[in-house]
Structure 1
Amino acid sequence: MTMLCRALRVLVGLLMVALVCVVALGIFYRYALQNSLYWATEVPNFLMVWIVMLGSVVAFHERGHIAFTLLGETLGGRGQALLECVGILAVLTLLAVLAYSGAIVVEDTMHSLSDALRIPKGYLYACLPLCAVLMMISALGQLRSSVRRLRS
């Protein structure tokens, strides 16, 4: 998963460069050429959604999200590991629901075309089940680690 996170970091970086370029191009066309690109608002929206979702996978894997650790720290070794297991199982449940419901949304919107690009909106929403599954893989690794700490 670490190799995948590195690849995701590179992809997110490239998407951010693309976002800046598209926004700059839209501004240039609007103010310098007195013309607007018909896709200059839709593409940044698509890019931003994918950047946020893929970035959240990296943050989840690296445990970069906010966490409340006070209770776990007071419990000590085994108690902390048990609390982590319970938390990870709750997160896995939520991610499974997101993956399932996201797949339904993707399927339902594949016949609905975006306004400017005329591509299926399902491609925009596909980031939800994809990222949920990637986070589930990472969470399973975290759960395995916590269970090992619980046993020792």
Structure 2
Amino acid sequence: MAFICRMLRVSVGILIAALVVVVAMGVFYRYALHSSLYWGTEVPNFMLVWIVFLGAVVAFHDNKHIAFTLVGQAIGGRTQVLFEVASALVILTLLVVLTWFGIGVVERTMSSASEALKIPQGYIYACVPVSSALMAIIAVEHLAGALRRLIGGAQS
């Protein structure tokens, strides 16, 4: 999963650079050429959505998401690890549900074309099941690590 996250970092970086270029082109066309790009609003919006969702996968992998660790740290010991296991199970359940319903949204929106580019809206919404499935894999890794700590702590 670490390799995939490295590739996602590169992809997000490329998307951010491309987003800057596209927005700059839109501004140039609007103010210098007194014209507009018919896709100048839609493309940055789609890019930003994918940047956010793919970036969320990387943040989740690196444990950079907002976390409420105060309770777990205050508890300490074996109870803290149990708390981590329960938390990982809840997160994994949420991500599986999000993946499942995200696939349904993608399927339902594949016949609806975007306004400017005329591409299926499902390609835009695909960021939800893709990112949630990747995060579910990471959540399984987190759960496995917490279970190893729980079992390792029981043997000590």
Q: Which TM-score band applies after superposition, normalised by the shorter structure?
A: over 0.9
**Deviations for 1:98-132, whole angstroms, at most 9, x for unmatched residues?**
10110000000000000000000000000000000
Show the counterpart of 1:62. 62
Q: Secondary structure at the match of 2:132?
A: helix
CA distance in 2, matches of 1:25, 1:44: 11
Deviations 1:23-72 (A, max 9, x none): 00000001101110000000000000000000000000111011111211
- Inter-partner Cα distance in structure 1 for 2:4 and 2:91: 20
Report 1:3-152 matches (<5 A): 3-152=3-152
Aligned to 1:2: 2
Identity of aligned residues (%): 59
Letter in 2 for 1:128: V
Number of equivalent positions: 152
Structure 2 length-normalised TM: 0.96
- Counterpart of 2:66, as a letter, is I
Q: Name the amino acid aligned to 1:57.
A: V
Q: Which runs of 5+ in 2 are unaligned?
A: none
Corresponding residue SS for 1:38: coil
Q: RMSD in angstroms over aligned alpha carbons?
A: 0.6
State the 1:76 CA deviation. Answer: 1.6
Q: Within 2, Cα distance between the matches of 1:34 and 1:128?
A: 36
What displacement does 1:77 show? 2.4
Q: Distance in 2 between the 1:77 and 1:9 partners?
A: 34
Larger mean Cα displacement after TM superposition, 113-122 or 75-84: 75-84
Using the alignment, how far apart are the partners of 1:123 and 1:53 within structure 2?
Answer: 13
**1:3: Cα distance to partner?**
0.9
Q: CA deviation at 1:73?
A: 1.0
Q: In structure 1, give the amino acid aligned to 2:21.
A: C
Distance 1:135 1:17 in 2: 24
Q: Offset of 1:133 from its aligned partner?
A: 0.4
TM-score, structure 1 as length reference: 0.98
| Structure 1 residue runs of 4 or more that deviate by more than 3 Å after TM superposition | none
